[in-house]
Chains A and B, each alone.
Chain A
């Protein structure tokens, strides 16, 4: 359980990025949404201790983030940054994935086992000897997830995991996210892509100007007037409403309903 209690964050130079946000989450897929500068990343960076609260507190499985180092919190909360290239530095994929577990001080066998397991989870088996920089965009994103996964965190924060990827690669990432959720991970998606929210999220938290303005079920979320928060409504919902078919989470479901009707 991650508990955020009345969290305030004021950056040096007095910009108030978060103004009293409270949030509790466990094993679920949450989408953290909001326009640029709404405080999404600031909030996410508190969950593994990269930022410390100016006021309020963040408790991760009983650990107060102010009293624990990022390296300790990283065992519990994995944070996959937006640009995978910002973390690659090893000569091959195997060593890249092994970096996290090595930092945790695990044994050689344990590390090898975890690397194999993590690469299997993201369908990158057989890539062990490739250079991380030689991979395609989708593969890099999957490798980034594997790097964090190998540390076996209970919670995963994914920052814009599908941005810039083509349909096929994005689909691959979505599959991985669903699988990780089924395996018991709590997943926090930071995203602008409303299609992704519609398809994956159980619950949506909307930040606006450093405050939480919505926290609830996806269906309810899409009943909000999203233009007020500079967010788009998924095309799928607009179309299905137009022809009077109700709420669908994916094109597949929608098509099925259409076929049923005709």
Chain B
């Protein structure tokens, strides 16, 4: 069981300030939406893969692994287009672009998570103006995924010991079979949340408006340079799209 997508590496992307990576991913996503030319989108996809592989030391295999579950969806996105656009091969061509775009957007977001420890990622969001409470909520939510997973396993074992068979019966029967798992899980989750809130309050959570951080992040020269390059590339993309009319195919 993999609890987190983060991959511990010593790379340029890993050392980059999380804020730069967040802005970079955001600009990347906007850029991907600006264009619809399948050729350009494929090139952008390749660029993301290469950036992660070279600057982030993430192997092609690892990239493929995180994208694997999304391949069916992107194929669906692709084969819808021939039904909308005529002739069919032109539709397929455009659909291919949309499939690639979907994977690219996913890979940008996943790449951010794969190269940034959870703590730094949330700290980055907080430093960019997200309220601390939301940041903490996010951290707690992520922190409890493995705990809940383990709890669900225990509950499943307990109910299997009472003769519950999860993999048997019709679709409706199987749906019903999840009730004995879900109810204890929800009850335990609510109890845990309640206890956690008491623990937080007893440690004076919210007592002071101004918070300090034990672990801090600081923009360095390389971060400013990377941020500058990110901005430059983004404006180049906008310029190419709106002033040069590159990379956009009028469909209707």
**A28-48: which have CB < 8 Å to B?**
45, 48
- A170 proximal to B (CB < 8 A): no
Given contacts A81-B154, A86-B154, A89-B179, A74 and B161 within 8 Å (CB-CB): yes
- A79 proximal to B (CB < 8 A): yes
Contacts of B10 in A (CB 8 A): none
Q: How would residues 144 to 184 of chain A score, 1 for a CB under 8 Å from any chain B CB and 0 otherwise?
A: 00011001000000000000000000000000000000000
- A134 proximal to B (CB < 8 A): no
Of the listed stretches A19-27, A59-67, A98-106, chain B binds A98-106
Give the complex CA separation of A81 and B156 in angstroms.
Answer: 11
Given contacts A85-B187, A86-B188, A87-B184, A103 and B165 within 8 Å (CB-CB): yes
Query: Are A85 and B184 neighbours in the complex by a CB distance under 8 Å?
Result: yes
Give the residue name and chain of the B residue nearest to A84 (CB). Answer: B158
Give the interface centre of A12, A87, A151 by most chain B CB atoms within 10 Å.
Answer: A87
Q: State how many angstroms separate the Cβ of B165 from the closest Cβ of chain A.
A: 5
Contacts of A75 in B (CB 8 A): 163
- A221 proximal to B (CB < 8 A): no
B184 contacts which of A69, A88, A99 (Cβ < 8 Å)? A88
Give the complex CA separation of A50 and B179 in angstroms.
Answer: 20
- A236 proximal to B (CB < 8 A): no
Q: How would residues 54 to 97 of chain A score, 1 for a CB under 8 Å from any chain B CB and 0 otherwise?
A: 00000000000000011100110011010101111100000000
Query: Are A103 and B163 neighbours in the complex by a CB distance under 8 Å?
Result: yes
Interface size of B as a range: 20 to 34
Give the complex CA separation of A128 and B180 in angstroms.
Answer: 19
- B160 proximal to A (CB < 8 A): yes
Give the complex CA separation of A88 and B158 in angstroms.
Answer: 10
Query: Are A71 and B160 neighbours in the complex by a CB distance under 8 Å?
Result: yes
Contacts of A74 in B (CB 8 A): 160-163
Query: Are A89 and B162 neighbours in the complex by a CB distance under 8 Å?
Result: no
Give the residue name and chain of the B residue nearest to A97 (CB). Answer: B162
B157 contacts which of A50, A103, A104, A151 (Cβ < 8 Å)? A50
- B63 proximal to A (CB < 8 A): no
Query: Are B160 and A86 neighbours in the complex by a CB distance under 8 Å?
Result: no
Give the residue name and chain of the B residue nearest to A69 (CB). Answer: B165
Contacts of A69 in B (CB 8 A): 165
Give the complex CA separation of A81 and B157 in angstroms.
Answer: 9
B160 contacts which of A70, A99, A147 (Cβ < 8 Å)? A70
B164 contacts which of A78, A86, A103 (Cβ < 8 Å)? A103
- B155 proximal to A (CB < 8 A): yes
Give the complex CA separation of A62 and B180 in angstroms.
Answer: 30
Query: Are A71 and B184 neighbours in the complex by a CB distance under 8 Å?
Result: no
Give the residue name and chain of the A residue nearest to B183 (CB). Answer: A89
Given contacts A85-B188, A86-B188, A148 and B180 within 8 Å (CB-CB): no
Give the residue name and chain of the B residue nearest to A51 (CB). Answer: B157
Contacts of A104 in B (CB 8 A): 163
Give the residue name and chain of the B residue nearest to A89 (CB). Answer: B183
Give the complex CA separation of A87 and B160 in angstroms.
Answer: 10
Q: How would residues 155 to 191 of chain B score, 1 for a CB under 8 Å from any chain A CB and 0 otherwise?
A: 1011111111100000000000001101110011000
Query: Are A87 and B155 neighbours in the complex by a CB distance under 8 Å?
Result: yes
Query: Are A50 and B188 neighbours in the complex by a CB distance under 8 Å?
Result: no
Q: State how many angstroms separate the Cβ of B130 from the closest Cβ of chain A.
A: 34
Query: Are A151 and B162 neighbours in the complex by a CB distance under 8 Å?
Result: yes
Q: State how many angstroms separate the Cβ of B131 from the closest Cβ of chain A.
A: 34
Q: State how many angstroms separate the Cβ of A95 from the closest Cβ of chain B.
A: 11
Q: How would residues 219 to 250 of chain B score, 1 for a CB under 8 Å from any chain A CB and 0 otherwise?
A: 00000000000000000000000000000000
- A254 proximal to B (CB < 8 A): no
Q: State how many angstroms separate the Cβ of A1 from the closest Cβ of chain B.
A: 20
- A133 proximal to B (CB < 8 A): yes
What residues make up the interface of A, taking CB atoms closer than 8 Å to B? 12, 45, 48, 50, 69-71, 74-75, 78-79, 81, 83, 85-89, 99-100, 103-104, 133, 147-148, 151
A–B pairs, 30, beta carbons within 8 Å: A48-B161, A50-B157, A50-B160, A71-B163, A74-B160, A74-B162, A75-B163, A81-B154, A81-B157, A86-B155, A86-B184, A86-B188, A87-B155, A87-B158, A87-B159, A88-B183, A88-B187, A89-B180, A89-B182, A89-B183, A89-B184, A99-B164, A100-B163, A103-B162, A103-B164, A103-B165, A133-B187, A148-B162, A151-B162, A151-B163
- 4 additional A-B pairs beyond A81-B157, A85-B184, A103-B165, beta carbons within 8 Å, are A86-B188, A103-B162, A103-B163, A103-B164
